[in-house]
Structures are given as C-alpha cells and as structure tokens.
Amino acid sequence: MKKIIFIILISTTVFILSMLIIAEIFLLNELGFTLISNNSNMQREIIKYENIIPNLDESINNVYFGIAIDKFYIVKFTAFSIEYENKYYLITAKHSIINKDKIIKNIRFKSNSGSAWIYPELLYCKDNFSNNDDLAIFYSDKINNGFKIDTENDKPNYVLGNKYLNINIIRNFNIKTKKGESGSPIIDSDGEVMGIIINTDNRFYTPINSVVQAIDNLN
C-alpha cells in the first residue's frame, strides 16, 4: 500500500512540474521571448538567398520584433529600420500598435541580431486604408543602421521577417502574408526597401514614399 501511495505521489509531482514548465514557456512566449534559438534556421534562409540579394545578412539585421501590451491585450508584429537624411528611423504598420482606436503606450522592439529591448519615441502614425497608408514612425538614438530607400520604383521581390515569431525570415513577395508579418519591409532585388506589409493581400501595401513624405513634414 505504501509503495502505491509513493508511486502516486511521484506521478503527481512530475505532472505538476510539467504543467509549471508549460505555463512558464507560454508566459515567456506571450511576452515575446524565445527559449529556443532560431539562428540556425535564419542562417539556412540567408544562405538560400545570399547570392540574389547583396548584403542580405545586414538587411535581415535591420528587421525588428515588436510587441505592444495594453493590460491583457498583446500584439506581436514586425518592424524595420531605415536610413534617411543621415538619421535612422524605425517603421511599422500603425494597426499593429493600436487597441480600440487608441495608441498602445507600452511598445518595445528588438532586432533580429540583438538581445536588448529598445523603447523608441513614436514620432508619427497614420492609417488611411483607402490610400494604402498604414504606417508608424519611431525614433531612437540606439538605432545605428537601416535599409536604403528605393528611389527607382523597382519591382517588389521579397519580404523580410523577424526570427522571434517563427515566420519566414525571407520569402518571395507573392506568397501570402502570415500573422505577425504586419510591418515587415518589402524589398527589391537590390535590398532596398520599397514598402510596408499592411494586409494579407500583397497587392495592397504602404509605399515607402509615404514614410519619406511624413518624415519630411516632421522636419
């Protein structure tokens, strides 16, 4: 009888510990952390495309994971940095940072190559879906690199993603958008950014010129 009770106690303890571990993993995931490194998967995707896109490794490091928390409402999304007029800005889609038509205050980002969170200042945001305008512009002095901007209206070729959401690090533009890719950069074959993913239908995206015009109006 004592042996049976001992076995039951051991089994119960193992079960409880297992549930605690699962709960901890879930909580960390909800807060935007990952327990398993995705670097090997990222490197495989880089090798696949590095002969097509110059400086692909550097470009992928210009992509950021974003998380916006409003009490019990959590949004995980993608963003990217650009270089414009000797300054660096962080860009995403506005709909990723709002809840019930209000801007979420608790927003943080970290890059594909970084481990530290940054908390940039929101400079401007706009959503006018009839004109495919869905953008948010942030600034932080901790950002020191970014995409060059396409000025030749090239064809959109690829979309870059962040490694923390287990979505494509790089994919062809014509593949359907996945959850979490909102705010991802659309780039041409030269690795220059030309737009922002805002919709599951890739025919509709915010052109990077809308971002440039907004920054010009700020200055």
Q: Are residues 53 and 14 in the same domain?
A: no
Contact 194/160 with Cβ under 8 angstroms?
Answer: no
pLDDT of residue 179: 84
Q: Which two tokens stand for residue 152?
A: 């030749």
Q: Which two tokens stand for residue 179?
A: 């959850």
Q: Are residues 6 and 101 in the same domain?
A: no
pLDDT of residue 90: 98
pLDDT of residue 25: 38
Paired strand residues for 68 = 75, 107
Q: Are residues 107 and 3 in the same domain?
A: no
Q: Residue 37 — φ and ψ, nearest 5°?
A: -65, 135
Q: Are residues 176 and 76 in the same domain?
A: yes
Between 14 and 166, the higher pLDDT residue: 166
209 burial (CB, 10 Å; 0-12 / 13-18 / 19+) is middle
Sign of CA dihedral 102, 203, 55, 40: positive
Q: Are residues 89 and 124 in the same domain?
A: yes
pLDDT above 70 coverage of the chain, percent: 77
Average pLDDT of the chain is 82
Q: Which domain holds residue 13?
A: 1-30
Q: Which segment of 62-66, 69-73, 84-88, 104-108 scores lowest on mean pLDDT?
A: 69-73
pLDDT tens for 59-70 read 999 999 999 999
Q: Are residues 129 and 104 in the same domain?
A: yes
E-strand stretches of 163-213: 170-172, 185-187, 193-197, 205-207
Q: Are residues 14 and 94 in the same domain?
A: no
pLDDT above 90 coverage of the chain, percent: 51
Q: Are residues 46 and 66 in the same domain?
A: yes
pLDDT of residue 28: 36
Q: Which two tokens stand for residue 143?
A: 């950002």
Q: Are residues 136 and 91 in the same domain?
A: yes
* Domains of the chain: total: 2
139 burial (CB, 10 Å; 0-12 / 13-18 / 19+) is middle
- The enclosing domain of 80 has a CATH number of 2.40.10.120
pLDDT of residue 208: 95
Q: Are residues 90 and 178 in the same domain?
A: yes
Q: Are residues 15 and 89 in the same domain?
A: no
Q: Are residues 96 and 123 in the same domain?
A: yes
pLDDT tens for 16-54 read 444 544 444 343 343 333 333 456 666 666 666 766 677
pLDDT of residue 76: 94
Entry pTM? 0.78
The pLDDT of residue 151 is above 50: yes
122 burial (CB, 10 Å; 0-12 / 13-18 / 19+) is middle
Q: Which segment of 64-68, 98-102, 109-113 scores lowest on mean pLDDT?
A: 98-102
Between 199 and 212, the higher pLDDT residue: 212
